[in-house]
């Protein structure tokens, strides 16, 4: 899919990347410059609609609209005779550095590498024209300003360097001086050649500082006229800009919501109406219209064969009214479905959305059989992921029920959203359900409660440092941390034998009144995720569980890892217990919580010997 800019450029992004990494408002480096991906109002071309009522209902509720549609991102049309399609992008930032390097020396003989800092308007055909009339290529400056509400704009470099200067209106040539490796802000200075004003970039990094001024609400991804008032959602006062490095990992966090498509009593009628709704039935005003299309159009007649006019009209009316059933949380519906049938869930049909079979547990080790009450092999599943917004600086994650509580208001994808981008992935998986009584008995142990207090202190410190309202973001609970940690150990163990890379296996953790469980699954937009490797592993999952528990006992960073205190301010790992890159941290696309809320001491015994483990494997 090509990104179109204000000047000739070429760039392609996969559809799945649009949802997760390079959605509206994100910055992308192309070969010659950097661009900002345009909002939904700048997406052109035909789009394929994706249907998933549970997800659409929740998204419409979060966005505060009556109904919302979901479409796959448009694909660039290669046929030159067809109307242009794709996603428009905008050149951003519009300040550049000339690709020429000189040396500048301070009065105290310190030497700096320096390059001209240039606004877009000073360039000649996209290049810097030197005093010798030589054209020099330019690259985008890597520093911009943004706020926690998602707004973003270029830094006013003239204002920044001249704030404390008597020549505030000076517009002389600016230079960026870099000392050392160029990665430390204290070694980077902005200098005015004319009035000699000079200021370190580190001034803009002071916590809660106001150096870059108040945010003016710029939303360039939606267009030049999309500016809005920006105020702090905590204090109600003007929000201030912060320094942001374009390529930094905190520059863009897509807010996504996903569901697993599950069979229900109305699935069949919804599928057949999907086939003809957009082209024929969307504008129907009554049951007579349904009868008319049946008689006059062969495609409609064949699609609706076997279904009554009343049933079809009821489904059409439901879609037109935008009504969706939302009585239960996303994950509650999923785990109830996985636990609902004794043998099979769904239908084993080609291109089916969901089919799972329960396997027998006779071969389980006594250690596992006392904890596990169900293992389900999911032969087919369909996951739909929709993006509803994005944040900068801090990610917002779903709660334990798979819902977005939105303690931070997401930046908008469109001025007046009527649809959101979505993708559908098909794959396979393994579901493991744990006995409620086993988890409840584990939670009553003194050692577990002591460990819980330690983890909560870290969580409280994390919440306090970010100024998060305690009523808006709650601790996820020890069962979640335990199952989440076990899931990471299991993903690592399973990936060694199932044929999938660890980064290709994803997780969903279920903790609540409906039950406790882990779903490991693959998901791709093609057929690569349905090759059967994960289901085969599920047939002997007990072997991999035992390996995972053994792996969790010792980390290559022990005893440092096992002795980590979550509320240690020096380490700044408030959401980790005994967890690090040597044991529990995995590829972030695989984890539903960005590698947070992990502690292997709750899963198995560690060298610290806390006695808080759910699986007592000491004798194995």
Task: Report the candidate in 447, 610, 619, 500 with the shortest Cα–Cα distance to residue 549.
Answer: 619
Query: How many Å apart are CA 309 and CA 294, to the nearest integer?
Result: 9
Beta strand 152-153 with 102-105 is unpaired
Per-residue CA distances from 309 to 271, 312, 320, 324 (Å): 15, 5, 16, 21
Residues 6+ apart with CB under 8 A from 183: none
Task: Report the candidate in 419, 416, 423 with the shortest Cα–Cα distance to residue 73.
Answer: 423
Query: How many Å apart are CA 338 and CA 335, to the nearest integer?
Result: 5
Residue 619 has pLDDT above 60, yes or no: no
SS3 state of residue 249: coil
Q: Which of 293-302, 405-414, 592-601 has the lowest mean pLDDT?
A: 405-414
Summarize pLDDT for 426-455 with one digit per residue, the tens. Answer: 889 999 999 999 999 999 999 999 999 999
Task: Report the candidate in 250, 238, 233 with the shortest Cα–Cα distance to residue 407.
Answer: 233
Tokens of 146: 């943004």
**pLDDT (mean) for 227-233:** 86
Q: Are 488 and 501 in contact (CB under 8 A)?
A: no
Residues 6+ apart with CB under 8 A from 419: 40, 68, 69, 70, 71
Long-range contacts, 357-361 (Cβ 8 Å, 24+): 359/538, 359/539
Summarize pLDDT for 540-583 with one digit per residue, the tens. Answer: 899 999 999 999 999 999 999 999 999 988 888 999 999 999 99
Rounded to the nearest 10 degrees, how much is the dihedral formed by the CA atoms of 314, 318, 319, 320?
A: 100
Confidence of residue 387 (pLDDT cuts 50, 70, 90): very high
Summarize pLDDT for 330-359 with one digit per residue, the tens. Answer: 888 888 888 877 788 777 777 778 888 998
SS3 state of residue 482: helix
Task: Report the candidate in 1, 12, 24 with the shortest Cα–Cα distance to residue 421.
Answer: 24
**pLDDT (mean) for 217-238:** 86
pTM of the model as a whole = 0.81
pLDDT of the residue at 10:
53
Q: What angle do CA 134, 136, 140 make, to 5 degrees?
A: 155
Distance of CA 320 to the CA centre of its chain: 30
pLDDT of the residue at 442:
96
pLDDT of the residue at 249:
86
Tokens of 588: 């972030």
Tokens of 124: 């000649």
* H helix intervals, 444-510: 446-465, 478-495
Domain chopping of the chain, boundaries: 95-245, 259-321, 330-380+424-602
Percent over 90 (pLDDT), the chain: 37
Query: How many Å apart are CA 55 and CA 383, to the nearest integer?
Result: 10
Distance of CA 461 to the CA centre of its chain: 24
Beta strand 69-71 with 419-434 is parallel
Buried b (16+ CB within 10 A) or exposed e, 12-39: ebebbbbbbbbbbbbbbebebbbbbbbb
CA terminus-to-terminus distance, the chain: 53
Task: Report the candidate in 23, 19, 25 with the shortest Cα–Cα distance to residue 149.
Answer: 25
The kind and range of the H/E element at 389 are strand 372-391
Query: How many Å apart are CA 215 and CA 523, to the nearest integer?
Result: 39
**pLDDT (mean) for 280-309:** 86
């Amino acid at each position: 899919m090509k990104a179109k800019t204000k000047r000739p450029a070429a760039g392609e992004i996969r559809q799945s990347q649009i949802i997760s990494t390079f959605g509206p408002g994100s910055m992308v480096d192309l070969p010659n410059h950097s661009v900002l991906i345009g909002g939904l109002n700048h997406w052109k071309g035909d789009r394929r609609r994706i249907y998933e009522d549970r997800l659409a209902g929740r998204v419409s509720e979060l966005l505060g609209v009556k109904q919302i549609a979901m479409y796959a991102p448009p694909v660039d049309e290669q046929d030159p005779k067809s109307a242009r399609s794709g996603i428009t992008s905008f050149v951003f930032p519009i300040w550049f550095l000339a690709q020429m390097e000189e040396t500048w020396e301070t009065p105290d003989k310190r030497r700096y590498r320096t390059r001209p800092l240039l606004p877009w308007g000073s360039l000649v055909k996209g290049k810097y024209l030197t005093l010798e009339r030589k054209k020099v290529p330019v690259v985008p400056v890597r520093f911009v300003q943004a706020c926690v509400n998602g707004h973003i704009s270029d830094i006013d470099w003239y204002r920044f360097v001249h704030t404390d200067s008597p020549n505030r209106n000076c517009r002389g040539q600016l230079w960026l001086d870099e000392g050392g490796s160029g990665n430390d802000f204290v070694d980077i200075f902005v200098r005015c050649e004319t009035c000699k004003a000079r200021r370190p970039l580190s001034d803009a990094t002071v916590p809660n500082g106001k150096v870059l001024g108040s945010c003016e609400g710029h939303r360039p991804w939606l267009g030049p006229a999309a500016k809005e008032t920006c105020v702090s959602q905590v204090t109600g006062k003007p929000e201030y800009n912060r320094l942001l490095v374009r390529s930094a990992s905190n520059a863009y966090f897509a807010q996504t919501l996903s569901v697993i498509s599950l069979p229900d009593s109305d699935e069949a009628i919804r599928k057949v109406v999907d086939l003809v709704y957009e082209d024929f039935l969307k504008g129907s005003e009554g049951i007579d219209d349904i009868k008319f299309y049946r008689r006059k159009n062969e495609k409609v007649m064949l699609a609706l064969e076997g279904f009554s006019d009343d049933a079809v009209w009821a489904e059409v009316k439901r879609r037109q009214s935008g009504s969706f059933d939302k009585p239960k949380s996303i994950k509650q519906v999923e785990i109830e479905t996985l636990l609902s049938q004794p043998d099979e869930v769904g239908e084993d049909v080609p291109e089916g959305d969901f089919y799972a079979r329960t396997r027998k547990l006779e071969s389980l080790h006594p250690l596992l059989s006392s904890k596990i009450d169900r293992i389900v092999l999911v032969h087919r599943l369909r996951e739909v992921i929709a993006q509803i917004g994005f944040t900068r600086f801090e990610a917002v994650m779903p709660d334990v029920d798979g819902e977005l509580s939105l303690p931070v208001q997401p930046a908008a994808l469109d001025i007046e959203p009527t649809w959101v981008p979505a993708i559908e992935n098909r794959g396979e998986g393994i579901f493991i359900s744990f006995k409620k009584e086993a988890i409840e008995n584990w939670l009553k142990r003194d050692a577990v409660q002591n460990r819980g207090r330690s983890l909560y202190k870290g969580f409280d410190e994390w919440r306090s440092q970010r100024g998060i309202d305690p009523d808006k973001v709650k601790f996820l609970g020890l069962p979640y941390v335990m199952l989440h940690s076990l899931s990471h150990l299991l993903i690592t163990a399973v990936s060694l034998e199932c044929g999938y890379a660890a980064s290709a296996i994803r997780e969903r953790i279920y903790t609540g009144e409906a039950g406790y469980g882990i779903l490991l699954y693959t998901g791709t937009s093609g057929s690569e995720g349905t090759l059967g490797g994960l289901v085969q592993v599920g047939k002997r999952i007990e072997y991999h569980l035992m390996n995972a528990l053994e792996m969790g006992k010792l980390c290559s960073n022990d005893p440092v890892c096992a002795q980590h205190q979550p509320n240690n301010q020096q380490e700044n790992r408030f959401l980790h217990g005994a967890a690090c890159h040597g044991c529990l941290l995995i590829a972030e696309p695989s984890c539903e919580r960005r590698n947070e809320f992990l502690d292997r001491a709750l899963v198995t015994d560690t060298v610290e010997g806390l006695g808080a483990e759910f699986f007592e494997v000491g004798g194995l």
